[in-house]
């Protein structure tokens, strides 16, 4: 069903709904007031007839000839009674001037059944109500009829209805104007927020929406939007920094490849010389390829495209394999790389991803540990968690820089010349551990650093059910 007739503006929709609600409420209220007033007016007319009947029975005068008469006011007065008195046989005894002037055709039939009830009979302008009953007046039993027209009551009800009908559009109009004013005032913060949001661009993400009242709904909405803008600003800032770092890191090997190639072409060389030039170019190309692979890994991780496996992983065996693979790098710097196994530790995850995380941690420790230093890998499990610690005796990280240690392209104090990485290894390691349901945290260890991987412990067949930290270590692996 088309809604083109319905106002599109929220302010107008609220006003329309407010007016519709007011029309319904005022109509119901007016109907209730009219019905109550009509019932009260009808009861008042009946009470007045009963009062007239008591007056007629009490105020009769007995004349000298034995006839009955009643005091009679001006027949044109509004309160002049309509009174008809008859004998029990239906013979007329007395009629007021109003009764003589306005005879009621059905009164004779009502006199034959004087049960004291009130009956409305048709009249000229409006129905006429008559009360017929028996009474004893001056020692005689008579039939008394008193009546009153419904015309004054109906006139009063008509005037009331006219007031209600004329007041309805006026009240609805006033309610509509008031509703529009209230809606305009209530939605004014929305207009200000929309105007401010329209001015926020990628270059002006530092601006925020105005918050008039943080306690109301619009204030909470603006606060949520401001928090979203803050996250968006941080994401843009990180993206710009990431782009700048990527450009710088990619430019370095490309510049080196180009420079080596240009130097190699300046003068003729023998086969060994060209082989050396090409080898140097291949080293830079491999460095460039490794960096691109890591960037693609992080990109797929951010997009959620990387699916990790759920296989049993023996963390002790994983640590020994990584130590064996990277032992050559430690030997080149006269470093000691040892593995300490404090009991079996297993988890369920992706062995390849976890291996890459551990390789990055150990490789980072080797780079930032001076010659003759020590790198340790400790594997343990307790309290439902498996832990792999990688410690070193390097330069450590200053307290003010520890929050950025897992940021992409962040590099701490530079190690020995030629060994600095691209600053992606720890970021990939953190993602790899978290993708397997674990955590990776940094803490200082003496003058060096300690990186701890925590993963949910899995109890496999044949593994200890309650391993404890501090058990007797196995013989550490020697580099």
Report d(CA 308, CA 146) in Å as an integer.
101
Architecture of domain 311-456: 2-Layer Sandwich (3.30)
The pLDDT, as a whole number, for residue 179 is: 78
Angle at CA of residue 403, ends 399 and 408, nearest 5° = 130
- Stretch 214-220: mean pLDDT: 79
Place of tokens 């601006």: 207
Cβ–Cβ under 8 Å, residues 191 and 210:
no
Q: If pLDDT is split at 50, 70 and 90, which confidence band does 6 have?
A: low
Q: Matching CATH topology for 10-155 and 311-456?
A: no
Fold entry, domain 217-303:
Helix Hairpins (1.10.287)
Q: Which residue has the higher pLDDT, 279 or 61?
A: 279
Query: SS3 for 298?
Result: helix
323-327-329 Cα angle (round to 5): 130
- The 10s digit of each residue's pLDDT in 344-374 is 889 988 888 888 889 888 988 888 888 888 9
Please state the rounded mean pLDDT for residues 159-186. Answer: 82
The fold adopted by the segment(s) 10-155 is Beta-Lactamase (3.30.450)
Q: Cα(447)–Cα(397) distance, rounded to whole angstroms? A: 9
pTM for the full predicted model: 0.49
Q: What is the mean pLDDT of the chain?
A: 78
Tokens of 47: 């009470």
Q: Which carries the bigger pLDDT value, residue 9 or residue 214?
A: 214
pLDDT bracket for residue 304 (50, 70, 90): low
Q: Virtual CA dihedral for 284, 286, 288, 290, nearest 10 degrees?
A: -150
Q: Which residue would you say has higher pLDDT here, 197 or 460?
A: 197
Residue 312 has which token pair?
């049993």
The pLDDT value given to residue 47: 92
| d(C-alpha 295, C-alpha 34), whole Å | 80
Per-residue pLDDT of 91-122, as tens digits, reads 888 888 888 888 888 888 888 888 888 988 88
Q: Is the pLDDT of residue 44 over 90?
A: yes
Domain boundaries, the chain: 10-155, 217-303, 311-456
- ∠ Cα 64 70 74 (to 5°): 130
Across 86-95, 155-164, 427-436, 437-446, the highest mean pLDDT is recorded for 155-164
**Is residue 415 predicted with pLDDT exceeding 70?**
no
**Number of neighbours of residue 353 by Cβ within 10 angstroms:** 22
> What is the C-alpha to C-alpha distance for residues 378 and 319, in angstroms, rounded to an integer?
8
């Amino acid at each position: 069903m088309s809604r083109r007739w319905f106002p599109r503006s929220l302010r107008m929709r609220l006003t329309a709904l407010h007016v519709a609600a007011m029309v319904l409420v005022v109509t119901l209220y007016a109907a209730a007031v009219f019905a109550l007033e009509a019932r009260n007016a009808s009861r008042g007319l009946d009470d007045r007839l009963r009062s007239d009947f008591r007056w007629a029975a009490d105020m009769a005068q007995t004349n000298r000839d034995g006839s009955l008469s009643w005091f009679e006011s001006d027949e044109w007065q509004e309160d002049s009674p309509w009174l008809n008195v008859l004998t029990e046989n239906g013979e007329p005894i007395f009629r007021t001037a109003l009764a003589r002037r306005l005879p009621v055709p059905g009164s004779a039939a009502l006199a034959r059944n004087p049960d004291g009830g009130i009956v409305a009979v048709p009249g000229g302008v409006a129905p006429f109500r008559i009360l017929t009953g028996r009474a004893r007046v001056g020692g005689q039993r008579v039939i008394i009829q008193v009546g009153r027209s419904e015309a004054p009551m109906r006139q009063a009800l008509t005037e009331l209805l006219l007031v209600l009908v004329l007041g309805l559009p006026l009240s609805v109009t006033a309610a509509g104007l008031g509703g529009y004013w209230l809606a305009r005032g209530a939605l004014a913060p929305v207009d200000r927020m929309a105007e401010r949001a329209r001015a926020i661009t990628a270059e002006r993400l530092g601006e925020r929406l105005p918050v008039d009242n943080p306690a109301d709904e619009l204030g909470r909405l603006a606060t949520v939007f401001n928090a979203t803008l803050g996250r968006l600003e941080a994401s843009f800032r990180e993206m710009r920094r990431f782009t700048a770092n990527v450009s710088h890191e990619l430019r370095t090997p490309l510049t080196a490849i180009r420079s080596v190639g240009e130097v190699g072409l300046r003068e003729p060389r023998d086969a060994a010389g060209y082989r050396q030039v090409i080898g140097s170019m291949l080293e830079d190309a491999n460095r460039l390829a490794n960096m691109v692979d890591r960037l693609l890994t992080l990109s797929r991780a951010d997009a959620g495209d990387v699916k990790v496996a759920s296989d049993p992983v023996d963390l002790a065996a994983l640590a020994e394999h990584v130590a064996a693979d990277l032992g050559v790098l430690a030997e080149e710097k006269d470093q000691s790389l040892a593995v300490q196994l404090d009991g079996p530790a297993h988890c369920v995850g992706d062995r390849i991803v976890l291996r890459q995380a551990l390789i990055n941690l150990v490789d980072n420790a080797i780079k930032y540990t001076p010659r003759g230093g020590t790198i340790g890998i400790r594997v343990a499990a307790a309290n439902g968690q498996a832990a792999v610690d990688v410690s070193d005796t390097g330069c450590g990280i200053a307290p003010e820089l520890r929050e950025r240690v897992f940021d992409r392209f962040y590099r701490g104090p530079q190690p020995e010349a030629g060994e600095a990485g691209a600053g992606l290894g720890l970021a990939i390691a953190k993602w790899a551990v978290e993708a397997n349901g674990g955590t990776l945290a940094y803490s200082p260890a003496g003058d060096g650093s300690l990186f701890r991987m925590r993963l949910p412990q899995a109890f496999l067949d044949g593994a200890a059910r309650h391993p404890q930290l501090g058990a007797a270590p196995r013989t550490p692996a020697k580099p």
